[in-house]
A and B are shown apart, each in its own frame.
Chain A
Amino acid sequence: MKSVPDKNILLFRSCLVSVEYPGVEASTKFVFDKLGVDYAISEKQTCCTGLGYYSDVFNQLDTSAIGARNFSVAKDLNRPNLVMMCATCYAINKKSVKLLNKNDELREEINTLFDENGLSHLKYEKDDLKPTENIFHVVDILYSKRDKIKENIKYDLSDYKIATHHGCHYCKVHYEDTIGGVRDPNIIDDIVEACGCKSIGWYDHKRATCGTGFRQRYSNPELSFNATADKMNAVYDEDVDILVHLCPNCHIQFDRYQHLISKREGKEYKAIHLNVAQFVALAMGGDFDKVIGVKAHTVPIDSIIKELKEVDK
């Protein structure tokens, strides 16, 4: 298996996490602190451009130039290991690193633009970062620390029926690097298991998209919500209490739109939605308001989790 770092980490801030589910960031920090992961957050880092990129507004040159800038921020901090909270940040940054290493033309074009405009300090040299050695998702770190997570579990969540949803941009874009497979993705299931719970494993549409589809959610809601309904109906058929995912965009689609799709489909959906970092943080004793950030959720967390029972030590 690939080696996953636990130090010199730049925890890469995500636009959607920041404004939609800030609890994901707080939970990640909470868990990382408990697991002894060495990380920092930088105010100099900007977004990955992913939302714009996948709305076809940004092209590769723009995105990779912004990428090069963020990589230089990471290098200046001597934190070359970028760890993302969002699947799209992960895919976008990994692609940029691959391209900046492999595509001499693109790298030269960006470096020349930097040179000519007084931005030489941002220049990217070939192999400054390695796509498999420096670019990770939080889920990779959690997976590599499964044993330590096991030792730090405070609450027993094993009574809930748990299903997992693996973000497409974590699993499918750079599938060669995906831990836990892409055809039947299992990395979150394994982390859930480390928390003393058992996920339901495979269900229909397990590997399917959440339905966001970037522009589809706003410009093509029928299409978007039909795809989401596939997933929600499958989760409903399995009587799932908690759906655990790894991407804030999936999070929005499920949590914010569950009521709407429930109405469309005429079914009483009940599942609550947690990011894997929130789930682990919760199991490790994170406070609802100060760590998990439940106030940001549309489907109330306490509609399912009414009380927490401590594990038998």
Chain B
Amino acid sequence: MTTQQKITDSPIDFAEDIIHDVKNSREEGVLKCVQCGMCTSTCPAARHSDYNPREIIERVLDGDLTIIEEDNIWNCFYCYTCHSVCPVGNSVCEVNQILKQLAINNEIAWDKIYEYLGFADSYFNAAIGAIPEIFFTQIDEDVPGWWEFRQNLADIRDELNLDPPLLPDDDVIDEVSLILTITGFKEKIEKIRDSQEDIK
């Protein structure tokens, strides 16, 4: 296969966009990649799946925007091992997070985060993060006794004499809801949910 690079192509722009993303803490790290593969050598996802962090940077430096449509970028564990050892000071882990936000902004992979919208809901309802209920059945299957434990949680907490209570006051919940509304978060979440439920 031949890839053609036109004189007007500017592959490096993709990396530039990533460098300027708010999540990138590694300055010009992406540009300094020499493809040594140390990231892949230590990556749990590379060990157990087709995910290859080195290749992600290779494609970013090629200006290959189709990377955000790849299924396997969703295999990253966010364990930051690559980030902690990269000899040139790059972080594939952060680049991966940026690529996913890019995917979401481009209405790609909304199905991937649909199940996790529960994390958003719990903020509006209780101002805390809680494992989405959608997973409860599976957890209870995988973890014998978990459901029962959850039913007894209040008693266990009582015995441990834990104070303050689990859930914050309404004014705190209202304030957090307001924050997540004014950042545009709420609207984004609703849009994603609506589109996914329409499909279903």
Direct contact of A and B (CB under 8 A): yes
Pick from B45, B97, B100, B117 the residue with the most CB of A within 10 Å.
B45
**B182 pairs with A117, CB closer than 8 A:** yes
Q: Can you list 29 A-B pairs, Cβ within 8 angstroms, ordered by A?
A: A19-B130, A19-B166, A41-B164, A43-B169, A50-B129, A51-B131, A52-B123, A55-B119, A56-B116, A58-B120, A61-B185, A66-B179, A69-B176, A98-B25, A106-B22, A116-B182, A168-B79, A173-B84, A175-B84, A183-B85, A212-B77, A219-B115, A220-B74, A223-B45, A230-B47, A257-B143, A260-B142, A298-B145, A298-B146
**B77 pairs with A216, CB closer than 8 A:** yes
**A214 pairs with B162, CB closer than 8 A:** no
Is the contact region of chain B dominated by helix, strand, or loop, or is it mixed?
Answer: helix
Q: Report A262 CB to chain B, min CB distance, Å.
A: 12
A4 on interface, CB distance cutoff 8 Å: no
Contact code string A59-74 (vs B, CB < 8 Å = 1, else 0): 1111001100100000
Residues of chain B at interface, number, CB under 8 A: 71
**A218 pairs with B22, CB closer than 8 A:** no
Whether A218 touches B81, Cβ cut-off 8 Å, given contacts A46-B176, A69-B176, is no
Q: Report B91 CB to chain A, min CB distance, Å.
A: 9
Contact code string B172-196 (vs A, CB < 8 Å = 1, else 0): 1001101110111100010000000
Contact code string A200-222 (vs B, CB < 8 Å = 1, else 0): 00000001110111111011111
B4 on interface, CB distance cutoff 8 Å: no
Separation of A56 and B49 alpha carbons in the complex (Å): 20
Whether A59 touches B77, Cβ cut-off 8 Å, given contacts A117-B178, A175-B84, A227-B44, is no
**B159 pairs with A290, CB closer than 8 A:** yes
A98 and chain B: residue at smallest CB distance:
B25
Name the contact of B77 in the complex, choosing from A18, A46, A211 (C-beta under 8 A).
A211
The stretch from B10-18, B29-37, B54-62, B147-155 touching chain A is B147-155
When distances are taken between beta carbons in the complex, the residues of chain A under 8 Å from B113 are 55-57
Whether A218 touches B104, Cβ cut-off 8 Å, given contacts A98-B25, A117-B182, is no
A103 on interface, CB distance cutoff 8 Å: yes
Q: Report B163 CB to chain A, min CB distance, Å.
A: 8
Separation of A43 and B131 alpha carbons in the complex (Å): 20
